[in-house]
Amino acid sequence: MRPIEIITQLLDLAAALVAAPLFVGWINQCRAWLQNRSAPSIWLPYRGIRKLFHKDAVIATRASALFRLAPYIVFGAMVLAAGIIPSMGTRLPVTRIADAIALVGLLATARVFMSLAAMDVGTAFGTLGARREMMVGFLAEPALLMVIFVASLISASTALPAITEHLATQTLGLYPSLAFTAVAFTMVLLAENARIPIDNPATHLELTMIHEALLLEYSARHLALMEWAAALKLFNYACIGFALFIPWGVSTVQGGPLALLASIPVLAAKLIAAGGVLALIETVSAKVRVFRAPEFLATAFLFAVLGLLVHLLLGA
Amino acid sequence: MTSALHSPLNACLAILVLWGAIGLAGLLRPTSLRFVARSLFPLSALASLMLAAVAAWSLGVAPERAILAIGLPDLPMHLRRDALSGVFLFLLGAASAGISVFAAGYFRRGHGTSAGLLCLQYHLFLASMGLVMLADDAYAFMVSWETMALSSYFLVTTQHGLPDIRRAGFLYLLIAHVGAIAILLAFGVMQGGSWQFTFDAMRGARLPAPWAAAAFLLALFGFGAKAGLVPLHVWLPEAHPAAPSPVSALMSGVMLKTAVYGALRVTFDLLGQPVWWWGVVALAVGLFTALYGVVFAAAQSDMKRLLAYSSIENIGLIFTAFGLAIVFRGVGMSMLAALALIALLYHSLNHAFMKSLLFLGTGAVLHSTGERSLGRLGGLIHRMPWVAWLTLVGALALAGLPPLNGFVSEWLLLQAFLFAHEVPHTFVNMLLPMAAAVVVLAAALAAYVMVKFFGVIFLGQPREPGLAGAHDAGVLQRLGLAWLAAGCVALGLFPTQIINGLRGVVKQLSGADLPGQTAPWWLLEPIPGRQASYSALGFLLAVTAIVLLTIVGVRLFYHRRVRRADPWDCGFARLDARMQDTAEGFGQPIRHIFGQFFLLRRELPTPFDRAPRYRVLVGDRIWERLYGPLGGLVQRIADRFAWVQQGRIATYLLYSFVTLVALLALVL
């Protein structure tokens, strides 16, 4: 392991941990502007997390050890996921232990633990949230894997850095298959991160909530970890999107420390743009009923399949 | 004696004989539960461990044969042990070790079969499964196959006082025999006119292509009936809940794999050169079975039926890998065939451990609470922590989550699919990625099923007041569960070592070796240069390290104060256990999305009901679409020929006479 690899890895992890809440804050700001509200501070998610860490944890009397363990596992899974996704450089030593399929498995692990923890206390909302979360999960996972399959068929590898490396060093060609899968991926991103057409991060309305219903019993440090993990998840998804569809600007195998340094502002620019787009999507679309979620995700799956067929037919 | 034990085959046979002896010993004091359960079953578990050890050792030893002069004159039993039988013998030994230890603590004085008889049936079942894997001629194979079916039939109908259980047993026996006829016919085709029924003769026979295809399809049907491929799966959800839990575990974890073994033996060994379109057939059936099984599993509300449907799903995945291997072998891409076969064998091993674990977990719950219905369980993690946490390992493994074993085989299967774009048939080439999508969907649904299974049984509030008296499993039961859970973890963490062990088998079946391992021992990289790697150990270490760092960090920078309080009730102060999701409620999205699969019957209350009831029955459409018309057809044909039955002996004698004359005319 060369020093540059370790530096890339640590930078990757640190960027994720630091930038994830900021990214959420930025999206909230953009949303507020687009909706003619005065925007909250971009630092608000940080303050929320800090405040929660200081509070006393209140745990339901019936909760088992699983309930207290789950936030740590979910957070750990998201941090490891951040370490696997090449957001700035492709020389990540950790990626050898988990390729893109294992990354999807890692996200599934987090989801399962979150759902189990929600069922642990045995309230109506917990089980309801778990059921809906697992429903969205099993619909979104195939679509996500199809997206990854297309990218790995193009680059003959399932390792994310190799995919990014391949796509980033390619002469700027047009991949029609990737255009289809990009649409599919965006839809999966919205659904998996509890964003608007599927879930609304801003409300606790009983009939519709998914993600918030899972967290209803959590408080203090456990809630802080869950919130942070949710922010990391959004950040991770965004970075998967960058790695697959706009990989330019990351420091590749040839790049030295300077290229790595240069990739930091590139990532920031990508995040700023992505946050704006996400806020725009959320502002112009309405939340669908829970029963319509399968249709939404089936559409995403269809787009991914179309991308795959286009790839197989055109070879691009 | 010592020289005899140098050969793994003889050692295996000695263990099978030992099993038979243990079974017979049960008859010495048939009603003494203490003698049978506490002495004989632990002994049997030791024999299982020995078998697993011998089988693991045998993987590196060249094939060997034996001829036992048992049976009809001039028709001795041929036995042969090679790498393929070694893998499945290992599976049998390793899984049954845990199951037998558990069974030692499980059996209670009940109404059904006496303990001694049960012991005989159980060990006959074990020994016949071992013999199936060693048989080297059609005669020995069919005899042990039928012994297996019969002994398991008696085990299923242990509680034969109940009509439902007799019905389930009959259904099992019926489908087992329909399948056995197909297997027998397949052997008949494969002897290729030589009338030699040894497997050697079948290996040597050169069958014309249509006959080879017929043999394959017959074998797929026959072994599919035992494995539970749709539409022959109907016996599984009936027989598994009917049987005592260790028997369910043995049937689901091990017996279904004998069918996988049979399919592999016939296709890759006896028929030799499979044709690619056979694989497409197996792939299609396997995929449909996987999806069908998992969708039905999600809708079940009886915990053992749920697991039975989940077994159908896993068998579907195994046959998907089987089909994929045939396609690759058929088009000459032996290395990918090897990869698919590795995924197949790996998943078979995994399923043996995780499904046995879960069935035994349900057994412990059943004993402790007397409930099989998910709607009357809940909150057992507080009362039965051992069972709950060990079952959680199995549930997470079955959900296909890293770093446990279910994920490894899934990962290997998906890798095999991803390399499939080089198949020379364009249409197949297009369809294979779609097939991969179905695999992914089935795997994702499996996670849903497992969250439902574990969450409804062990988490939340107890749904019945009686659950407050539930007690944890005894020491022997815990030991059995822990053995299987450890197996799940070990299979998950050391894939490279397991795959090295499977190399010999895969080479024997696919004709190609996987390329040598160039990566370090902790890294799984099936095909070097493809840049696809996974390390369960690294994965586990990384997650554990981050989790520990987080815990320490939180403690260090903040505090560890905790207050206990009632759960948040949204201002409605009468939150009770009935407000949790029931099993039906948890399955509701599945019923909504996959409504076409089910035969749904709902009873909805009217607004004026004094005691409103909501009932929903989820049925299998296969019954009304396939078996209903089939049964009607048989009935009509039987009615047409009913006049033959006169009830007078003179008439029957006349029939015999006419038959005799006709046969003589034919022969002479």
* Dist CA B122 CA B148 (whole Å): 10
Q: What pLDDT is recorded for position B2? A: 47
Check A122 against B538: CB less than 8 A apart: no
Tens-digit pLDDT profile for residues B441-463: 999 999 999 999 999 999 888 88
Rounded Cα distance between A48 and A31, Å, is: 18
Q: Do A97 and B378 touch (CB under 8 A)?
A: no
Residues of chain A positioned with their CB less than 8 A from the CB of B534: 97-99, 101-102
Q: Which residue has the tokens 């007397």?
A: B370
Write out the two tokens for A112: 């399962």
In this structure, what token pair is assigned to residue A128? 């309801």
DSSP string, B564-627: EEPPP-TT-S---GGGS--HHHHTHHHHHHTGGGEEEEEEPPPTT-SS---EEEEEEHHIIIII
Closest CA to B302 of B360, B370, B374, B244: B374
Do the Cβ atoms of A124 and B575 come within 8 Å?
A: yes
Asked whether the predicted pLDDT for residue B614 surpasses 50, the reply is yes
By CA distance, what is B445's nearest residue in A?
A: A138
Classify A251 as helix, strand or coil: strand
The tens digit of pLDDT for each residue in B246-292 reads: 999 999 999 999 999 999 999 998 888 888 899 999 999 999 999 99
A12 touches chain B (CB under 8 A): no
Q: Is A152 on the interface with B (CB under 8 A)?
A: yes
The rounded distance, in Å, linking the Cα atoms of B358 and B394 is 6
Residue ranges in chain A assigned as alpha helix (H): 3-34, 44-54, 65-84, 100-120, 124-155, 160-169, 176-192, 211-215, 220-245, 257-284, 293-314
Asked if B450 has any chain A CB less than 8 Å from its own CB, the reply is yes
Alpha-carbon distance B581 to nearest alpha carbon in chain A (angstroms): 6
CA distance B219 to A116: 42
The DSSP secondary-structure symbol of B81 reads: E
Q: In this predicted model, which residue has the larger pLDDT, A278 or B427?
A: A278
- Residue B314: is its pLDDT beyond 80? yes
Longest dimension (CA), chain A: 60
Question: Which of B451, B534, B557, B590 to mutate against chain A (most A CBs within 10 Å)?
Answer: B451
Q: In terms of pLDDT, which residue wins out, B35 or B660?
A: B660
Burial (CB count <10 Å: 0-12, 13-18, 19+), residue A102: buried
Please answer whether residues B96 and B130 qualify as being in contact, where contact means their C-beta atoms are separated by less than 8 angstroms. Answer: no
Other CB atoms within 10 Å distance of the CB of residue B272: 15
User: What integer pLDDT is reported at residue A95 of this predicted model?
Assistant: 80
Rounded-to-integer distance, Cα A79 and Cα A236, Å? 9
The tokens of A279 are what?
């806020």
Q: Yes or no: say if A183 and A242 are a contact pair by the CB < 8 Å rule.
A: no
Q: What is the pLDDT of residue A216?
A: 86
Residue with tokens 């049997």, as numbered in its chain: B44
* Contact status of B468 with chain A (Cβ, < 8 Å): no
More confident residue, B179 or B581: B179
Cβ–Cβ gap A120/B570 under 8 Å: no
CA A171 from chain center: how many Å? 28
Partners of residue A134 in chain B, C-beta under 8 Å = 447-448, 451-452
Contact A120 B585 (CB under 8 A): no
pLDDT in tens, B85-123: 999 999 999 999 999 999 988 877 766 778 888 899 999
Pairwise CB contact (< 8 Å): A119 & B401: no
Kindly indicate the confidence band of residue B1, based on its pLDDT and cuts at 50, 70 and 90: very low
Q: CA-to-CA distance for A46 and B661, rounded, in angstroms?
A: 97
The mean pLDDT of B117-139, rounded to a whole number, is 92
Round to whole Å and give the CA distance between B360 and B382: 19
Chain A residue nearest residue B431, CA to CA: A309
Q: What is the mean pLDDT of residues B314-326?
A: 94
What letter does residue A302 receive in the DSSP assignment?
Answer: H
**Amino acid letter, residue B433:** P
Alpha carbons B12 and B422: distance in angstroms, whole number: 42
What percent of chain B clears pLDDT 70, i.e. is strictly above it? 98
Question: Roughly how many angstroms between the first and final C-alpha of chain B, as a whole number?
Answer: 53
**How far is the alpha carbon of B284 from chain A, nearest alpha carbon, in Å?**
18
Please, what are the averages of pLDDT over each run of 10 residues along chain A (316 residues)? 81 90 93 90 92 89 90 93 87 83 92 92 87 91 90 85 83 79 93 86 75 87 92 94 87 79 89 93 87 90 89 77
Phi-psi region of B459 (alpha: psi -120 to 50; beta: other; left: phi over 0): beta
Q: Judge: A56–B562 Cβ closer than 8 Å, yes or no.
A: yes
What's the pLDDT at B413?
92
What is the phi/psi pair of residue A286, to 5°? -105, 155
| Residue B36 DSSP code | I
ipTM over 0.85: yes
Residue B189 has pLDDT above 50, yes or no: yes
Q: Cα(B664)–Cα(B538) distance, rounded to whole angstroms?
A: 74
A56 contacts chain B (CB < 8 A): yes
Q: Would you call B161 helix, strand, or coil by DSSP? A: coil
